[in-house]
């Protein structure tokens, strides 16, 4: 199956319809992932491979998603796998492998292209598929995987074998966030923004509410933005819209660089708008490696 096309071009017109579908998939995956039992979805390293993959595969099937940050089809596939893993309730585990960070694992699986998805059952590797498959077909593949695992006696559920001291007790969801989560799932960004602002009235510095507010603001703006090619950009509004598009495409470095350049080139209200937008995107990007150098560059631009 051909990979799903990238929602954003580097330059020129942007397909906002494709972006909206991709964004809703990613947001649904984030909501589902947040409710998944700890350990059902995890990043795996070479050092952990024996214990977290091979050893556990005798109890529960392991699905391995080999991806990279630069891979556009991976950005389509990974949220679907995470969503299904969370919904699976521990009947299978999703292990994510960044092939750039863990090249030896990719070599061991003889990966030719990404995304590539494998399963491990009783220590045996089962190739599943390559490319960005749609959710319906992935569900069929997973159903067949569970049948194969059952035939080999692997019918456990993740967490069954853990002792009481090993089980992590999840904190209950703050009820003030439920309305926000529900609005996000519906793609109602205005309602989600209102819910997060309500939460901030009770706890002004709540990091989750601040991050949620910044995120839905980004998504909401993308649905009404009219984007133009870089060559035609002449005002601050267009720069802000293009920075949003780059952020939604996970090109944080480009988004940050654009806004920092705008801060340097403007003054007064325009400069403050560019700076504010940049700070909002810092919150959304969170621990992305591009955030730290961009913060330094912003400080230099301002002072």
Render pLDDT for 125-158 as a digit per residue (tens, 0 to 9). 999 999 988 889 999 999 999 999 999 889 888 8
3-state secondary structure of 99: coil
Which residue numbers are catalytic?
71, 74
Q: Is 23 exposed, middle or buried (0-12, 13-18, 19+ CB in 10 A)?
A: buried
The fold of 16-151 is Glutaredoxin (3.40.30)
In 3D, which of 216, 256, 264 has the Cα closest to residue 240?
256
pLDDT digits (tens, 9 = 90+) for 40-80: 899 999 888 888 899 899 999 999 999 999 998 998 898 99
Domains of the chain: which residue ranges? 16-151, 175-302
- When pLDDT is cut at 50, 70 and 90, the band that residue 173 belongs to is low
pLDDT digits (tens, 9 = 90+) for 73-107: 998 898 999 889 888 888 999 999 999 999 999 99
Question: At which residue do the structure tokens 């654009």 appear?
Answer: 258
**Which residues of the chain form beta strands (DSSP E)?**
41-43, 62-67, 93-98, 116-121, 124-130
List of residues 6+ apart from 256 with CB closer than 8 A:
278, 281, 290, 291, 294, 297
Residue-averaged pLDDT of the chain: 80
């Amino acid at each position: 199956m051909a990979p799903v096309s990238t929602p954003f071009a580097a330059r020129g017109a942007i397909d906002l319809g494709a972006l909206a579908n991709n964004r809703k998939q990613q947001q649904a995956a984030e909501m589902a992932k947040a409710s998944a039992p700890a350990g059902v979805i995890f990043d795996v390293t070479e050092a952990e491979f024996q214990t977290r993959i091979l050893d556990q595969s005798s109890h529960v099937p392991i699905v391995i998603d080999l991806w990279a940050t630069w891979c556009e089809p991976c950005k389509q596939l990974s949220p679907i796998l995470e969503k299904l893993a969370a919904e699976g309730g521990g009947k299978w585990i999703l292990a994510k492998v960044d092939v750039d960070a863990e090249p030896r694992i990719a070599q061991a699986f003889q990966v030719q292209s990404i995304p590539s998805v494998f399963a491990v059952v009783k220590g045996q590797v089962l190739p599943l598929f390559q490319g960005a498959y749609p959710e319906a077909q992935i569900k069929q593949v997973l159903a067949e995987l569970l049948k194969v695992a059952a035939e080999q006696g692997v019918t456990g559920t993740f967490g069954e074998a853990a002792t009481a001291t090993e089980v992590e007790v999840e904190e209950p969801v703050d009820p003030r966030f439920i309305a926000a989560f529900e609005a996000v799932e519906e793609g109602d960004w205005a309602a989600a923004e209102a819910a997060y602002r309500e939460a901030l009235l009770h706890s002004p510095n709540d990091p989750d509410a601040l991050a949620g507010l910044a995120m839905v603001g980004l998504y909401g703006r993308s649905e009404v933005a009219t984007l133009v090619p870089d060559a035609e950009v002449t005002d601050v509004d267009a720069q802000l819209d293009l920075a949003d598009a780059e952020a939604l495409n996970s090109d944080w470095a480009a988004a940050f660089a654009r806004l920092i350049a705008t801060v340097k080139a403007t003054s007064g209200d325009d400069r403050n708008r560019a700076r504010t937008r940049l700070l909002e995107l810092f919150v959304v990007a969170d621990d992305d490696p591009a955030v730290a150098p961009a913060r330094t560059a912003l400080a230099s631009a301002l002072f």
